[in-house]
A = this chain, B = another copy of it.
C-alpha cells in the first residue's frame, strides 16, 4: 500500500504524453484534419500535457502515402505546418517502428527538426536493430524511448536480457507496454518492479503505455505511477487501437500536479472527438477486446470483428478459443 502522503502530493518528475494521433491514428488510418490537429496541439498546451506524439515515421517505400493521412509519416514539414517553431513547453514526439522506418534517410539532425523525441517501438526479438536505431537517433540529438511491445507473451528471462541490452544504450526512457491489454494492476506492480531494478541500475526513466481491453488502462497507469513510473501515455477519450488507451481526461483528473488542467481536454472531446466517432471511427472497450485481452492475444482478430460490424460475440469467442 502506498503512503497516503505520497498520494495527496505529486512527483515533479511525472510527465504525460498524448498518443491520440499515433495510437488513435491506427483507428482512422491517420486521416486527421489540420483543424483537428491544431486544436489538439492547443488543447495539449492548455492542459499542461508534456509531450504530443504526432504519429509514426513510417517508411514511404513500405507504405503507400496515398493510403494514409500525413500522421502516418510525420514529416517535419507536416509537423511544422501545425506547430511552426513550437515555441511552447509542449514537446513533440514521433514513433518509429523497428523494421518499418528508414531512420538513416528520414530522420535529420534534431537542430533541423521540430521533433524533440523519437520513440523506438520494437518486438523483443528485434533488440539489436532497436539498439542501432536508438543510438543513431540519440546521436542526432533527440530524446529517445524504447517501447518493447507484446511483453505479456515474452519469457521473463528474455525480457530481462532485453532490458539489460537497451539500458546500456543512451536511451532516455524505457517503456512498459501492455500491447494486448491483458494485464491486471497486480501484475503491473510486479512488472514495474523488474523494470525499475534495471532502470535504477543504469539511470533510466520508465514509461507506461496501457490498453483498455480489461478496463484496466487507467488502473494500470495509476498503479505504475504509484510504483515510480514517470512517463505516462494517454489519449483523448482513450482513442487508440482496439479497446483504446488510458483516457487523458481520467489521467489528468487523477494527477495532482497543479500544472495539469482537465478542462481543455473536456472541451476538445466535446468539439472534436464526438465528431470523429460520428464519422465512423470506432474504439473502446467491448466484448471482443475483453476476449483477446483475457486470452493474451494480439487484438487483430477483435479489430477485424469490429471492422466487419459483427455482433455475434459468442461465435467469436468460440473461434478464439478453438484457435487458442
**Contact between A218 and B215, CB atoms less than 8 A apart:** yes
A178 to chain B, nearest CB (A): 14
Interface string of A291-315 (1 = CB under 8 A from B): 1001000000000000000011110
Stretch of A21-29, A102-110, A145-153, A264-272 with 4 or more beta carbons under 8 angstroms from chain B: A264-272
**Contact between A311 and B250, CB atoms less than 8 A apart:** no
Q: Pick 19 A–B contacts, CB within 8 A, sort by A.
A: A1-B186, A4-B190, A7-B186, A184-B222, A185-B185, A186-B222, A214-B218, A214-B254, A215-B218, A215-B247, A216-B218, A218-B219, A219-B219, A266-B287, A266-B314, A269-B313, A270-B312, A270-B314, A274-B311
- In the complex, whether A134 has a CB less than 8 A from a CB of chain B is no
Chain A interface, number of residues (Cβ within 8 angstroms): 42
- A218: chain B residues at CB < 8 Å are 214-216, 219
Considering the complex of A and B, which 7 residue pairs feature the smallest CB-CB distances, nearest first? A219-B219, A253-B294, A270-B313, A267-B314, A215-B218, A1-B189, A266-B313
Query: Given known contacts A184-B254, A266-B317, A270-B313, is B219 in contact with A215 (CB within 8 Å)?
Result: yes
Q: CA–CA, A215 to B2, complex, Å?
A: 20
A276 to chain B, nearest CB (A): 14
Q: Which residue of B lies closest to A271 (CB)?
A: B314
**Contact between B263 and A314, CB atoms less than 8 A apart:** yes
- In the complex, whether A223 has a CB less than 8 A from a CB of chain B is yes
Q: Which of B184, B187, B287 contacts A249 (CB 8 A)?
A: B287
- In the complex, whether A226 has a CB less than 8 A from a CB of chain B is yes
Q: CA–CA, A77 to B103, complex, Å?
A: 72
- Point out residues on A near B: beta carbons under 8 Å: 1-2, 4, 7, 184-187, 189-190, 193, 212, 214-219, 222-223, 226, 247, 249-250, 253-254, 262-263, 266-267, 269-270, 274, 287, 290-291, 294, 311-314, 317
Q: CA–CA, A314 to B273, complex, Å?
A: 13
- A1: chain B residues at CB < 8 Å are 186, 189-190, 193
**Contact between B290 and A185, CB atoms less than 8 A apart:** no
Q: Which of B217, B223, B291, B294 contacts A185 (CB 8 A)?
A: B223
Main secondary structure of the interface of A (DSSP, over half): helix
- A2: chain B residues at CB < 8 Å are 186
A182 to chain B, nearest CB (A): 10
- A262: chain B residues at CB < 8 Å are 294
- A7: chain B residues at CB < 8 Å are 186-187
Q: CA–CA, A295 to B295, complex, Å?
A: 36
Q: CA–CA, A215 to B212, complex, Å?
A: 10
Q: CA–CA, A253 to B290, complex, Å?
A: 9
Q: Which residue of B lies closest to A193 (CB)?
A: B1
Given contacts A2-B186, A267-B313, A270-B287, 7 further A-B contacts (CB under 8 A): A184-B222, A214-B250, A215-B218, A215-B247, A219-B219, A249-B287, A253-B294
A239 to chain B, nearest CB (A): 14
- A212: chain B residues at CB < 8 Å are 215
Q: CA–CA, A187 to B222, complex, Å?
A: 12
Q: Which residue of B lies closest to A184 (CB)?
A: B222
